[in-house]
Amino acid sequence: MEFTLLGAVFVAILPLYGVLYWEARRGNAAACTRNLWDTAVTSIVIGVTAGRLAAMIAAGVNPLTHPADILIVRGGVATGVAAVAAIGTAAWLGRRELWPVLDGLAPAALAGLGGWDAGCLVRGTCLGTPSNLPWAVAQTGSDITRHPVGIYAALALLAGAAALAWWRNRRSPAPGMAAGATLAVAAAIRLATEPLQPALGSGPVWWYIVGLFAGTAVLIWSFRARTEPAER
């Protein structure tokens, strides 16, 4: 048994905390009175647990009779269920100030996702489809080099988190725009890297498509909500 799920979660929490700390020092979450760190950790725990339980049930494993399997990463985590559970938890906890909470968590959430993907180094799941590129990597005991797709996703998500944090710090986007951008960017990166996954076409592509459209819809709504009062 390999209880590496906790290690991957720990890798995800480090950049999440770093971005929250950086944002707090610049007052980017000043409109939010809720403790974003507590909200983020609670959302992560509930999201990952829900995603792991969904993956176990889909594989025919009873969580009640195999509770230790919840912490075993080899069986995977249902990405869509985990994302919905985490977002729903954050929204419920911050329901009294929804957009300040979700916007305040947005850059940190992207950074946390980047850390989660970087956790593939702990889980041993970084490699994807075969590649002859100079940076392609071979698994131990294999001569076939492959795309380090987990690292691709991690770098893209961390870059997105940095860009979003800069945008929030410099441009003061309308309420909801940061949250919408986070959802759209995360989904777009997932869609872009899906063709490089080892089990081509087996990923939850439709979840990513829904996320992309939902994030874009929130962005458009936020932009219109800001501009319409100015036009009246």
Token match 């998500």: residue? 157
pLDDT (0 to 100) of residue 228 = 63
What gap in Å lies between CA 14 and CA 38, rounded to an integer? 14
At residue 204, the pLDDT reads 76
Radius of gyration of the chain (CA): 18
DSSP states along 137-155: EEPTT---EE--HHHHHHH
- Neighbour count for residue 188 (Cβ, 10 Å): 17
The reported pTM is 0.85
Predicted local distance difference test score (pLDDT) of residue 119? 87
Mean pLDDT by 10 residues, the chain (232 residues): 67 90 72 81 90 86 78 69 93 92 93 91 86 91 91 96 90 90 95 83 78 95 75 50
CA 94 remoteness from chain centre = 18
DSSP 135: T
Tell me the C-alpha distance between 206 and 187, whole Å: 10
Q: Which residues contact 197 (CB under 8 A, 6 or more apart)?
A: 128, 129, 149, 203
For residues 52 and 73, the answer to whether their CB atoms sit within 8 Å is no
Any idea where the domains of the chain sit in the sequence? 5-231
Positive/negative CA dihedral, 134, 138, 143, 144? negative
Query: E strands, 43-89, where?
Result: none
Which DSSP letter does residue 139 get? P
CA atoms within 13 A on the CB side of 216: 8
pLDDT (0 to 100) of residue 1: 41
